[in-house]
Structure 1
Amino acid sequence: MTEQLTPENPRSTRYRTYVVTICTAAYVLSFVDRQALSLMIEPIKRDLSLTDTQFSLLSGLAFSILYGVMGLPVATLADRRSRPVIISVGIALWSLATTLSGLSRSFAQMFLARVGVGVGEAALTPAAYSMFSDLFPKERLGRALGIYALGSFLGGSAAFFIGGYVIGLVKDVRTVALPLVGDVHAWQVTFFVLGLPGLLLALLFLLTVRDPARHGLARDASGAVRRVAMREALAFLRGHAKTFSFHVVGFSLYGMVLLGLMSWAPAFYLRTFGMNPTQVGYALGAVVLVANGAGVLFGGWLVDRLTHRGHPDGSMRAGLVGAVGMVVPVVLFPHVRPVGLSLALLAVTMFFGSFAMPASTAAMQVLSPNQVRAQVSALFLLVLSLSAVGGGTTLVALVTDEVLGSEARIGTSLSLVYGIAGVLSIGLLWLGCAPFRDSMARQERLAAREPLGAVPDGAVG
């Protein structure tokens, strides 16, 4: 039976906190499984005989292609079926795929395993966003999303710390003999360590989280809840095409910088400063934990603050502030010395770059009607995955391999690709504020006319 959560019920606050906490824990685990690959770039390239471009396909396209595509049908289910069940199945799937990454002995096998990680993780975020929107009022949604987004950086930091520790532990060992598996490379052990705990979290999630009551549902003349198909979600997007064009493209370029640096920063510090994987893991683990963690929480607070002060486009404005703060240090950090100064500028980049996560999500959730929220989120994640995660990481590799012709010049690639992306995101987010305000006003008028729930209307405006 669905638990009714209201402010008058003292258990509701504790339960909401628990749901955010366990969803954040799942997000942490997903980023641990996703991010560990980047720290092990050199041994994986050596043992599987890969180029930078091939490695970028493993860390970007392999994960993002089905992460984005599978997000669409999964989000449709999340708008109709039990969201905790969907999330539990997803956690189990990506944990098994991470473990299989440790069995890979070729580029093709690793590519398929990383595809599996993407398929599993596609279940988490759209369903979690949808649940949060039913659990929290819009003036508190930014903080909840900020805490959830913090999970990505706690996970990224943990991946760097754990990966650095495990690599340091087995640095003098080329192969390890495991029962039932046989001899494996030392880096493969890391995937076994990271993948298996997720199965326990999947079971805990399934047993302890209940699907919250959905609010603002569209109903037919008889009062029954009306199911909304993907075509109606697309119609809603078309009705606000200008708003979502600026939002999706602007935040995708913004995300390209943040997510690309998470993938390529380890290679940059390994090659440019001669650091070993353990040193890089600990250094980047600290940067991600402090800078990204503070940035995503401050970004969520800023969204709520601007919204509370009467700015309907508060989420877009918060994203714009972050993009402006990010663009100069992302150009400079690969070219300064010593390493401490470079890491400090990277930390500034990561702090402002993290504003994108709560800002982009809050903008989608407050504008979209209840029954299309997960689907709209999935469509955004599809574009973000293919452009920022897939395209952004591969573009840096192509510039390094094909234009500059030397993997030692990766810093120049990072400055060039992500500097341009940052400038473009500033322009698009600034231009998107006015259309977003107009869309919010139209949706509020529609909701006032439809007290049982605003039905997506592609013909509006």
Structure 2
Amino acid sequence: MPNNNSLYPTTARAWGTVSILLLCYVLSFIDRQILNLLVAPIRRDLDINDTQMSLLMGLSFAIFYVICGIPMGRIADSKSRKGLIGFGVFVWSLMTAACGLAQQYWHFVLFRIGVGAGEAALSPAAYSLMADSFPPEKRATAISVYSMGIYLGAGMAFLLGGMVVTFASAKGDVLLPIVGMVRPWQLIFLILGAAGIAFCFVLLALKEPVRKGVGAGVAVPLKDVGAYLMSIRKTVLCHNFGFACLSFASYGASAWIPTFFIRNHGLTPGEVGMYYGSIVMVAGSLGIVFGGRLADYLAKRGYTDSNMRVGVLAAVLTLACNVVFLIDDLTIVWIVMFFNVFTVAMPFGVAPAAIQEVMPNSMRGQASAIYLFTVTLIGLGIGPTAVAMVTDYVFMDDMAVRYSIFWVASIITMASVVLLWMGLKPYREARETLVRWGDKQAQPA
């Protein structure tokens, strides 16, 4: 059994681990979000509507992401986390390349399911690696830096998507050896898939830290994991569903924001990719790191619920910034959008960090997978489709996408404020439960 008193890795090695994991996350989010700026050409070539397109963006990806996530989390708690991540990168990259060969809608759906299944391996293992690489007072910052990959990857997806659409209007289809003639949007999936497979070699530089903390090195039966989660069920429910509501608002809005700029403000896809993509990369990265730093700052001052408090603050600020979708002046829209992206990003580093603080080491990967199951199924699985269905079946007007985003995002963000606020006291109690569980495990049989 690993020695729980082992020193953490050196600062350089710990941040080296975060850097490699960050690159993985960037790559995964480029593959995941690239569809958002390719709505028009894919709709045209596959002859589908907004609702069908939203299923490619969300549910087809999310369904196997969440199904595979929990077994992947259990593997991360007991087997090689480095090997698990390598396997996941290879699978999702292969499936991304396959998306570039899709000729019919159902082909695309199947390949997006494969992308989701591969990506399910990354975050449970990554969170576990970082929790064993940093002491508790630095984890929120470390996990927030890793989570920058969400916004760096999404921003790069918008930039790449804008370049593809601009290229398509100028050059048209591309002839490739063996593959034959492909559309520009298909070409980018092929390139991204090849880049991901090549990246697998970079993962050889990852080092497995010694497992530490309460329960480290203990093989825990599934029934005991379930029993522990039930003992802190109020925390689990308020945390998972509170942050899932924020994820719902985030994914639901971001999936259609490029279309909002194109339809309601008359921008070209290339312009949206450049301007909105840059905002996502800069404001999103700043927001998620600020959230982590703020949580660590509060923790050092005795707030044992600091991660949850940052979630509440982020939800309130995001609710105010949702007014951006109702503004007509484009200059003001860009300014408010910067703050909107900043506040939306704030909680998505502290949310997984919060899990590490209330779970034994031997259950962290599984608890993280349950969290990812919830936020992905509700956020990515339902969010984009909810906005699309309000546009298609409530307003019945493509130009009403701005109102669909505003109402869907605002209502669900209000729910997150309530849930996260209700979770503050149970979260503090859950941290005490972990201490008692550790004391009990330390007693001789």
Report if TM-score (shorter chain) is over 0.5: yes
Q: How much has 1:3 moved relative to structure 2? A: 12
Secondary structure of residue in 2 paired with 1:311:
coil
State the alpha-carbon separation in 1 of the partners of residues 6 and 233 from structure 2.
Answer: 35
Q: For residues 414 and 168 of structure 1, what CA distance do their matches in structure 2 show?
A: 26
1:207-257 per-residue CA deviation (whole Å, 9 max, x = no partner) reads: 2112211113638xxxxx431133322222111111111111111001112
Preserved CA contact (<8 Å) 1:24 1:149: yes
Secondary structure of the equivalent of 2:182?
strand
Instruction: Write out per-residue CA displacement over residues 304-334 of structure 1, whole angstroms, 9 at most, x where no aligned residue.
Output: 011111011010001111111110211x111
Out of 276, 280, 284, the residue aligned to residue 288 of structure 1 is 280
- State the secondary structure of the residue aligned to 1:216: coil
SS in 2 for 1:135: coil
Q: 2:354 aligns with which of 360, 363, 375?
A: 363
Letter in 1 for 2:424: C
For 2:206, which of 206, 209, 228 is the aligned residue?
A: 209
Aligned mates of 1:239, 1:112 — CA distance in 2: 38
Equivalence for 1:322: 314
Q: Which residue of 2 aligns with 1:168?
A: 166
Question: Which position in structure 1 is the counterpart of 2:303?
Answer: 311
For 1:273, the equivalent position in structure 2 comes to 265
Give the Cα–Cα distance (whole angstroms) in 2 for the partners of residues 344 and 97 of structure 1: 37
Which shows bigger deviation, 124-133 or 189-198? 189-198
Tell me the CA shift for residue 344 of structure 1: 2.0
> Contact conserved, 2:283 with 2:339, CA < 8 A, in 1?
yes
Alignment partners' CA distance in 1, 2:101 and 2:335: 37
Q: Which amino acid aligns with 2:195?
A: P
The 2-side partners of 1:31 and 1:280 are apart by 18
Give the % identical residues. 35
Deviations 1:116-142 (A, max 9, x none): 111111010000001111111110001
With structure 1 as the length reference, what TM-score do the two structures score?
A: 0.93
> How many angstroms does 1:369 deviate by?
0.6
1:157 aligns with 2:155: yes
Instruction: Show structure 1 runs of 5+ residues with no match.
Output: 220-224, 454-461
Which of 26, 36, 39 aligns to 2:37? It is 39
Assess if the C-alpha contact under 8 Å between 1:157 and 1:288 holds in 2: yes
1:218 aligned to 2:210? no
Structure 1 distance, partners of 2:6, 2:152, is 30
Where do residues 247-262 of structure 1 align in structure 2 (5 Å cutoff)?
247-262=239-254
Partners of 2:214 and 2:316 in 1: CA distance = 37
Aligned mates of 2:107, 2:332 — CA distance in 1: 39
1:297 aligns with 2:289: yes
Deviation at 1:187, TM superposition (A): 1.2
Q: Which TM-score applies when normalising by structure 2?
A: 0.96
Instruction: Give yes or no for contact 2:96–2:189 (8 Å, CA) kept in 1.
Output: yes
CA-CA distance at 1:94 after TM superposition = 0.8
C-alpha contact 1:3 1:211 (8 A) present in aligned 2: no
In 2, distance between residues paired with 1:156 and 1:29?
9
* Residue aligning to 1:458: none
Task: Please tell me whether residue 396 in structure 1 is matched to residue 387 in structure 2.
Answer: yes
Deviation of 1:385 after TM superposition, in Å, equals 1.1
Number of the residue aligned with 1:100: 98
**CA gap 1:451/1:356 in 2 versus in 1, 3 angstroms:** same
**Offset at residue 36 of structure 1 (A):** 0.8
8 A Cα contact 1:145 1:361, kept in partner: yes
Which digits, 9 at most, give the CA deviation of each residue in 1:365-398, with x for residues without a partner? Answer: 1111101101011011111111111111111111
Give RMSD over aligned pairs: 1.9
How far, CA to CA, are the matches of 2:221 and 2:263 in structure 1?
Answer: 49
Amino acid at match of 2:321: P
Is 1:166–1:190's contact at 8 Å kept on the other side of the alignment?
Answer: yes
Asked if the contact 2:6/2:212 (under 8 Å) is kept, the reply is: no
**Contact 1:99 / 1:192 at 8 angstroms: preserved in 2?**
yes
Deviations 1:244-288 (A, max 9, x none): 111111110011122222211111111111211110100111110
1:239 aligns with 231
Q: Tell me if structure 2 keeps the 8 A contact 1:334–1:412.
A: yes
Are 1:6 and 1:12, in contact at CA under 8 Å, matched by a contact in 2?
A: no
Q: Counterpart of 1:270 in structure 2: which amino acid?
A: I
- Residue correspondence of structure 1 range 314-353 to structure 2 within 5 A: 314-330=306-322, 332-353=323-344
Q: What are the residue-to-residue correspondences of 1:164-203 with 2, within 5 Å?
A: 164-203=162-201
- Quick one: distance in 1 between partners of 2:131 and 2:442? 18
Q: Distance in 1 between matches of 2:442 and 2:394?
A: 57
Across the two proteins, how many residue pairs are aligned to each other? 443
Matched residue SS, 1:319 = helix
- Aligned equivalents of 2:329 and 2:272: distance in 1? 15
Distance 2:416 2:192 in 1: 34
Worse overlay, 301-310 or 158-167:
158-167
Letter in 2 for 1:275: L
1:130 aligns with 2:122: no
CA contact (8 A) 2:141 2:292 kept: yes
SS in 2 for 1:312: coil
